[in-house]
A and B are shown apart, each in its own frame.
Chain A
Amino acid sequence: MKFVAVSSCPTGIAHTYMAAEALEQAGRAAGHEVVVETQGAAGTTPIDPAVIAAADGVIYAADLEVKDKGRFAGKPFVDVGVKKAVHDAPGVLAQAIAAVEAFAASGASAPVVAAPKPVAAGASRAGSVGHKIRQYLMTGVSHMIPFVAAGGLLIALGFALATIAWPTNGAIEVTKVVDGTNGTAFVAWINDGFSLGSLQAWAVLLFWVGKWAFAFLVPALSAYIAYGIADRPGIAPGFVGGFAAVLVGAGFLGGIVTGFLAGFLALWIARWNVPKGVRGIMPVVVIPLLTVMVVGVATALIIGPPMKAVNDGLTSWLNSMSGASAVLLGIILGLMMCFDLGGPLNKVAYVFATTGLANAVASSDPQAKIMAAVMAAGMVPPLAVWLATVVRPKLFTESEREAGKSAWLLGLSFISEGAIPFAAADPLRLIPSFMIGGAVTGGLSMAFGAGVLAPHGGFWVTPLVHQPFLFLLAILIGMLVSAALVIVAKGIGHGSDADLVSQDQLVSI
């Protein structure tokens, strides 16, 4: 195969050239052609455009912004940083070969002849705007999935252990032992309350470790959407924006907004034409300072304030609904639970249900029925995506299929976040499918008269549920409806995704 590569390092006198030499040698040893452009202190000689056009793939061994990156657009690539190329050039080459093969196998247009006119960087950016947006979202999602998987499974494991460790109500007790978001209280508990031999203590610990992983979910989504848009300068403002989005209660949809804001802002600032003296401090001082400041302030001042209005308005609206038909209320709560999966609407519905619980004494009380409808509906999205990935794996990318494998357990544990990777990657198709399934489940749960006094736990608290079989039936029906809709919706306007599959695979290398 033929590769082109770019190497660069902060000082530009050592690693840039070591990486170039190591890559060229590794290529020679393995029988591949590697042509390296050293963007170092001794000046840069651009690679002949004809060589770029003939290359199968691109290796970025660059710690600085790659100059004229547009020249390489449209080719499969690996981005490894300069140090990796110096230390393990054969490994980097193997990665690049795998990327090229994955690209070819995905059926995307042949990797060669991407840009016959070398200067026309824009020409290879042929993808539509929608295609681009999905690509950015996928970058965010594929980096978020490990957090969802690890966090969700640990929380579920905590619930499962708790069910064994406590004689009754384990899935409720486990969350009450200590507040894992309060450092002082948590350290005090580790010192005084934790014991290696206590199953209860382990359940609590695993539950909170899972929660900590979940705390990075939206920040990682936001950061890597921004990374997809602007490369490394996007990461810092993306993380801060995602963190702030969660803090003000804007959920993962807020995180998507901050990710795009951070990415395009960083991209724009990185392209400023600045005097030579300032250029050196752009990536370390100017870009991080400006992007983080603008994204953080904007999230606080623009995204934050409406959240309170949304919260208050919806809460009082829900309260006024209390007299209305129970089934209608169940449908509305189901729609809300599945709209933003942990975002403002979901939270309002959930808090509405849990605050009602204070007035309930038996699992057949009306407040307990509301809780059951909310819980059942919240379990639908992850269960539905699991089913959809099992029935129609071809509709999903590799990393989505991987995420699907654990989604059933997250769904059973009432961890709606398990569906976020899917919703974030393709919100227009998935969110409506989730909402309709959730509405079906919420309405049915109410109609069946299922009730529960536990605010979380999902399947793990079914022993506490009033009408447990009907409760599970409501979930099952909603799951089937939602999964069917996901499959149908994925089939609509599903033309250009072969490309995305390969993009996603590259990202996850």
Chain B
Amino acid sequence: MSTPLITPELVAVDLVAADRDQATRALIDLLAAAGRVTDADGFHADVRDREAQMATGMPGGIGLPHARSAHVTVPSLAVGKVPAGVDFGAPDGPATLVFLIAAPASGDADHLKILAALARRLVHPEFRAALNEATDAATVARIITTEVVPA
């Protein structure tokens, strides 16, 4: 695993978005700028397809758009903190913390284990609280990099 799951460039601490589509797009653009997504529009379409199957909003103010896509080169995570909140279809209201998970379509199992580990961390309230309290991109990236370790 030479490329880290996340870097400070993939964190947007003050994201303003009208809806989940816009929030997702802003994060996709970060991934594209970092060269982790080759075709922003194509990947966006894949994420939309997944979101249409079942909304990814979770209780506790979490939005979790994600997809496996041919346009993704390396398993990646982009994080957006949305102070004003944006609806991701969770039963208890809008999301203030949006995680965009990008998985390559052809990734072998070992490659994807980092994402499995991330998903497992996400259900821990302490992990989410730490990210909610972090105020700058470097801290967010550091928390994730140290906490998310493949089993």
Tell me the A residues contacting B by CB distance below 8 Å: 10-18, 20-22, 25, 38, 40-43, 63, 83, 86-87, 89
- Who on chain B is nearest to A26 by CB? B123
Roughly how many angstroms separate A38 CA and B54 CA in the complex, as a whole number? 19
- Complex: A495 Cα to B59 Cα, angstroms: 47
Check B115–A18 contact: CB distance below 8 A.
no
State how many angstroms separate the Cβ of A29 from the closest Cβ of chain B: 12
Is B13 located at the chain interface by the 8 A CB criterion? no
Cβ–Cβ contact A18 & B101, under 8 A: no
The closest CB in chain B to the CB of A82 belongs to B54
Distance in angstroms between the alpha carbons of A154 and B67 in the assembled complex? 46
**CB pair B120 A17 closer than 8 Å:** yes
* Cβ–Cβ contact A13 & B112, under 8 A: yes
Contact of B103 with A by CB under 8 A: yes
B53 touches A13 (CB 8 A): no
Instruction: Say how far B122's CB is from chain A's closest CB, in angstroms.
Output: 6
For window 97-114 of chain B, which residues contact chain A by CB distance below 8 Å?
Answer: 101, 103, 107, 109-110, 112-113
> Closest CB-CB distance, A285 to chain B, in whole Å?
14
Report the Cα distance A5→B40, complex, angstroms.
37
- Assess the A87–B119 pair: CB atoms within 8 A: no
> A14-B64, A14-B115, A41-B112 in contact; A21/B124 too (CB < 8 A)?
yes
B66 at the interface (CB under 8 A from A): yes
B112 in contact with A14 (CB, 8 Å): no
B70 within 8 A of A: no
Complex contact B67–A17 (CB within 8 A): no
Residues of A within 8 A of B6 (CB): none
Pick the most buried of A38, A40, A41, A89: most chain B CB atoms within 10 A of its CB.
Answer: A41
The residue in chain A whose Cβ has the minimal distance to the Cβ of B109 is: A43
With A13-B66, A42-B113, A87-B59 already in contact, the answer to whether A18 and B119 are too (CB < 8 A) is yes
Report the separation of the CA atoms of residues A182 and B112 in the bound assembly, to the nearest whole angstrom: 54
Residues of chain A within 8 A (CB-CB) of B120 are 17-18, 20-21
Cα-based distance from A43 to B56 in the complex (angstroms): 22
Tell me the minimal C-beta distance from B50 to chain A in angstroms.
6
Tell me which of B54, B121, B123 contacts A83 (CB under 8 A).
B54
* Known contacts A43-B109, A86-B123, A87-B91: A13-B115 contact under CB 8 Å: yes
Inter-chain contact B54/A13, CB cutoff 8 Å = no
A sample of 19 more A-B contacts (CB under 8 A), given A13-B101, A14-B64, A18-B58, is: A10-B50, A10-B53, A12-B68, A13-B112, A13-B115, A15-B119, A16-B119, A17-B116, A20-B120, A21-B121, A40-B112, A41-B68, A41-B109, A41-B112, A42-B109, A42-B112, A83-B54, A86-B123, A89-B123
Pick the contact of B66: A11, A22, A63, A89 (CB < 8 A): A11
Residues of A within 8 A of B110 (CB): 42
B64 CB contacts on chain A under 8 angstroms: 14
Given A18-B122, A43-B109, decide whether A38 and B116 contact each other with a Cβ distance below 8 A.
Answer: yes
| Cα–Cα distance between A10 and B50 once the two chains are bound (Å) | 8
A14 CB contact (under 8 Å) in B109, B119, B124: B119
B123 near A25 (CB under 8 angstroms)?
yes
Residue from A11, A86, A87, A89 in contact with B50 in the complex, judged by beta carbons closer than 8 Å: A11
Interface string of B55-69 (1 = CB under 8 A from A): 010110000101110
A349 and B64 alpha carbons, distance in the complex (Å): 59
Band of interface residues on B: 20 to 34
Most buried by B among A15, A16, A22: A15
Rounded to whole angstroms, the CA-CA distance of A215 and B116 in the bound complex is 45
B58: chain A residues at CB < 8 Å are: 18, 86-87
CA distance A12 to B66 in the complex (A): 10
List, in ascending order, chain A residues with CB within 8 A of B124's CB.
21, 25
Contact present for B66 and A10 (CB under 8 Å): no
* Complex interface residues of chain B between 29 and 82 (CB less than 8 A to chain A): 50, 53-54, 56, 58-59, 64, 66-68
Q: Which residue on A lies nearest to B122, using beta carbons?
A: A18
CB proximity of A390 to chain B, nearest CB, Å: 41
Measured in the bound complex, the distance between the Cα atoms of B103 and A40 in whole Å is 13
- Which of A11, A43, A83, A86 is close to B67, meaning CB atoms less than 8 Å apart? A11
Which residues in B have their C-beta under 8 angstroms from that of A10? 50, 53-54
Cβ contacts under 8 Å, A22 to chain B:
123
B58 to nearest A CB, angstroms? 6
In the complex, the answer to whether A13 meets B91 with C-beta atoms within 8 Å is: no
- CB-nearest residue of chain B relative to A20? B120
Contact partners of A15 in chain B: CB under 8 A:
56, 119
- Docked CA distance A11–B53 (Å): 10
A21, closest chain B residue (CB): B120
List the A residue with the shortest CB-CB distance to B46: A11
CB<8 Å pairs between A and B, sample of 16:
A10-B54, A11-B66, A13-B101, A15-B119, A17-B115, A17-B120, A18-B58, A21-B119, A21-B120, A21-B123, A40-B112, A41-B103, A41-B112, A42-B110, A63-B54, A87-B59
Q: How far is the CB of B52 from chain A (nearest CB, A)?
A: 11
Q: Which of A11, A18, A21, A43 has the most CB of B within 10 A?
A: A11
- Min C-beta distance of A44 to chain B, whole Å: 9
Alpha-carbon distance between A125 and B111 when the two chains are bound, in angstroms:
39
* Complex Cα spacing A359 to B124, Å: 76
A16–B50 alpha-carbon span in the complex (Å): 14
Q: Which residue of B lies closest to A12 (CB)?
A: B68
Q: How far is the CB of A318 from chain B (nearest CB, A)?
A: 53
Q: Which residues of B are found within 8 Å of A86, using beta-carbon distances?
A: 58, 123
Complex Cα–Cα for A25 and B121 (A): 11
Query: Hey, which chain A residues are within 8 Å of B123, CB to CB?
Result: 18, 21-22, 25, 86, 89
Q: Are A13 and B59 in contact (CB under 8 A)?
A: no
| A10–B59 CA distance with the chains assembled, in angstroms | 20
Complex CA gap A12/B68 in Å reads 9
B109 neighbours in A (Cβ, 8 Å): 41-43
State whether A13 touches B103 (Cβ < 8 A): yes
Closest residue of chain B to A87 (Cβ to Cβ) is B59
